[in-house]
A and B are shown apart, each in its own frame.
Chain A
Amino acid sequence: MKRRDFLKATLGGTAATLCTTAEARPNLEPAPEAVGMLFDSTLCVGCKACVSICKELNDMPPVTDNEQQIWDSARDLSGETLNVIKVYKDGDAKTKDAEINGYCFEKRSCMHCVDPGCVSVCPCTAMRQHKVTGIVTHHADVCIGCRNCMVGCPYNVPQFEYNELFGQIQKCQMCNQAGLERVDKGQMTGCAEVCPTGATLFGPRKALLQEAKHRMQLKPGEIYNYPRGDVSKPYSHHEKEVPAYRDHIWGEKEAGGTSVMHISSVPFDKLGMPAVGDRSAASVAETVQHSIYSFMALPAVALAGLTYVVRRNTDDDNDGGES
């Protein structure tokens, strides 16, 4: 009877802990000095200078499509493409930045989440978020290639080099990976530097968010002096009519926010952004995992109880040898 009680207590404790969400881990907060980028879809003209410089800086080959060998024609992120410009088209696609019968461009690259799923799920700590800059980097030297980062990323950013025997995960590291270290050297990301219209703007996340919010306040049709390069020290400006922005800064809040934020005049679901919600999936997963495995206390208690019970129950028929 005693051991039955013991067992019940053990199992009961397990079940209770499984259901506990009391100490839920909230979304992570942005690092105060985090750097990021702001992509303004209405400024992008689709020249793909950013795609080209990205390949050059990260030493990646152009991706060719069909017979077309002249320029890079990557359609999506891959082990050979860390940044890509995609096009949205609707109807006759005559008007730029119009949702109906219009077109616009959208950048795909790592969003550098404030609460990154890839960092949370990686068993070997091969995905790391820098404490100061918030930049998410990959370290292939400890990666086993389980590709949980790929399924754990809301945006399908980390990409494995499937076509190589000794391949690795590739992702945008904001040009700050070992060997390049542009941000550490006080430079900006390659894509922001070459962008002719300031559609991709580099800078501190706070300043970028402020800039984005400011653009939301502008009246459509008025003239605004758009900065190019680094928002905190733009190398030039250009004047342009303000479009009808959607009042939505992607990455301000989404799943804890991102350091690379997007603004647009076409709704983000039309641009293929996922329905991530406010709470980061990583925070939910970690809450569950840490409720069960906090200091391994629960498994230890369960093992002690199980050992006791099993010991008793194997003693009964001990002479014939345990099978």
Chain B
Amino acid sequence: MSSHKAIGGRLFTAPFMVLLVIFLIGCFFMFQRFTSGIGSVSNLNGGFAWGIWVVYDVVIGTAFACGGYALAFMVYVFNKGQYHPLVRPAVLASLLGYAMGGFGAFFDMGRFWQFYEIFLPGNWNFNSVMLEVGLCVAAYIIVLTLEFAPALLERLGMHGLLKALNKVLFLFIALGVLLPTMHQSSLGSLLIAMGHKVHPLWQTLHMQPLLALLTALTMGFSIVIFEASTSAVGFGRHSESGLLSKMGKVIVGLLLTFLLIRLVVLMLQGKLGLIFAADFASLMFLLEMVLFVIPLVILLSSERRSRGGQLLIAAVSMLLAGSLYRFNAFLFTFNPGLGYSYFPSVSEIMITLSIIALELMAYLILVKTLPVLHREEHA
């Protein structure tokens, strides 16, 4: 009945056990965080109030989780039905990625025991970008759960409920395109209010939401390519590089738009000189540009685009570029003022790693037990 199937196999493989160990180590520090406070496990301080829990787990992690968003755009908005086989695994990865973001946000929340205050309409400050991010991400996690629910319902044989869900699913798919557009752009808007603390090369003011959205989309498409390529290798499945290479063309368009806007804005703001200032920020900017241009060079050639290995390099470079863009803006070149510095502590890093490990373990278990990946003969 379903065009997807569980790939089955042993759950407790060697990679799984490694992830489990990482997760358990992290659990120790999570316990510490919830018994002795944020200060006992992190290097966050008065100037750097946001460290890797916000910047990696939420700001970058949710961009990594934009595969479902990017594919929903392709399949349901531009009606490219041939990408359908990639949707379900991408939705799962998105669900797990966003859940990780939510998890990270909860760890980071200074007053976690009253997190619900943000959901009480009486408290809402409509001037706040953070309000939009918080509510919209929470709503999207629910939407992703519903988008992924058919896989679970199929597995459990609950066909009545499945049919009912399928009837209204279009509404959730539409929300699944709208919500990430909103909060992924808002993640960029968060930088506007930080004003002078954001390095001039990354403080593009009005253009922040658009640049954040464009990188979210390129990272979304790249993660689909990355996941499809690695599961082709890891699970010994048929490669879908034909489909993936077409996706490469879309990335080229998005990338060119991003680079054009970025450079024109810097030019209009009269900041181009800073690119060659030969300081840390200019170095990071140039590194970022190289990482953005590598996928462009690969994907512009139809010959390179059709080669699985090249495609994977392009995707990885794009993911690194998008991550570095966000890391640079929020953390690496962020300057709150004299006397403040930040480097994550071991326990802080371990907590983030253990959440990633949890995410990967959940992915492995779910693709083996639920009908997530597309049946080979259709691919």
> Residues on A close to B: CB < 8 A?
7, 14, 18-19, 21, 76-78, 117, 119-126, 140, 142-148, 150-152, 154-156, 159-160, 162-169, 255, 272, 274-277, 281-282, 284-290, 292-293, 299, 302-303, 306-307, 309-314, 316-318, 320-323
Contacts and interface: CB of A to CB of B under 8 A. Distances in A.
Residue from B37, B163, B169 with most neighbouring chain A CB atoms (10 Å): B37
B10 interface: no
Contacts of A18: 185, 206, 209-210
A311 B170 contact: yes
A154 B196 contact: yes
B337 interface: yes
Nearest to A314: B170
A4 to B, nearest CB: 9
B124 interface: yes
B173 A121 contact: no
Contacts of A303: 174-175, 178
Contacts of B163: 321
A279 B205 CA distance: 12
Given A120-B128, A121-B129, A321 B192 contact: no
A281 B76 CA distance: 38
B117 A117 contact: no
A76 B171 CA distance: 52
B30 to A, nearest CB: 13
Contacts of A147: 49-50, 110
Contacts of B127: 120-121, 282, 285-286, 289-290
A293 to B, nearest CB: 7
B150 A292 contact: no
Nearest to A118: B193
A314 B150 contact: no
B27 interface: no
Contacts of B45: 162
A124 to B, nearest CB: 4
Nearest to A79: B46
B336 interface: yes
Interface stretch (B80-88, B239-247, B299-307): B80-88
Given A303-B175, A307-B171, A148 B84 contact: no
Given A148-B130, A165-B37, A281 B125 contact: no
Given A299-B182, A313-B81, 11 more contacts: A18-B185, A148-B130, A156-B336, A156-B337, A162-B45, A165-B36, A302-B181, A303-B175, A317-B84, A321-B166, A322-B170
Contacts of A76: 46, 339
Interface of B: 1-4, 34-40, 42, 44-47, 49-50, 75-77, 79, 81, 84, 87-88, 105, 108-115, 117-118, 120, 123-132, 134, 150-151, 154, 162-163, 166, 169-171, 173-175, 177-178, 181-182, 185-186, 189-190, 192-197, 205-206, 208-210, 336-340
B220 to A, nearest CB: 16
Contacts of B128: 120-123, 148, 289
Given A18-B210, A156-B47, A323-B84, A310 B173 contact: yes
Q: Across the A-B interface, give the 7 residue pairs with the lowest CB-CB distance, nearest first.
A: A145-B110, A281-B195, A162-B39, A145-B111, A150-B49, A123-B131, A147-B49
Contacts of B4: 323
Most chain-B Cβ atoms within 10 A of its Cβ — which of A148, A302, A320?
A148
A303 B129 CA distance: 20
B337 A163 contact: no
B258 to A, nearest CB: 14
Given A162-B39, A292-B209, A310-B177, A124 B337 contact: no
B3 A123 contact: no
Contacts of B174: 303, 306-307, 309-311
A311 B196 CA distance: 45
A276 B195 contact: yes
A164 B37 contact: yes
Contact of B37 (A78, A126, A162, A321): A162
Contact of B150 (A125, A309, A321): A321
A163 B155 CA distance: 47
Contacts of B84: 317, 323
B109 A152 contact: no
B168 to A, nearest CB: 10
B109 A146 contact: yes
Contacts of A288: 189, 192, 205-206, 208-209
Contact of B193 (A77, A121, A125, A142): A121
A123 B46 contact: no
Contacts of B79: 312-313, 316
23 contacts: A76-B46, A123-B131, A124-B117, A142-B114, A143-B111, A145-B109, A156-B46, A162-B42, A163-B39, A168-B111, A274-B196, A281-B196, A288-B206, A288-B208, A289-B129, A303-B178, A312-B79, A314-B76, A321-B1, A321-B150, A321-B154, A321-B162, A323-B84
Contacts of B208: 288
A297 B116 CA distance: 26
B324 to A, nearest CB: 20
A160 B189 contact: no
A323 B154 CA distance: 10
Given A120-B128, A156-B47, A163 B37 contact: yes
A145 B112 contact: yes
Contact of B196 (A121, A276, A293): A276
Nearest to A152: B193
Nearest to B374: A323
Among B75, B76, B340, which residue has the most Cβ atoms of chain A within 10 A?
Answer: B76
Contacts of A293: 126, 132
Contacts of A124: 117-118, 123-125, 131
Given A150-B46, A156-B46, A165-B34, A285 B125 contact: no
B372 to A, nearest CB: 9
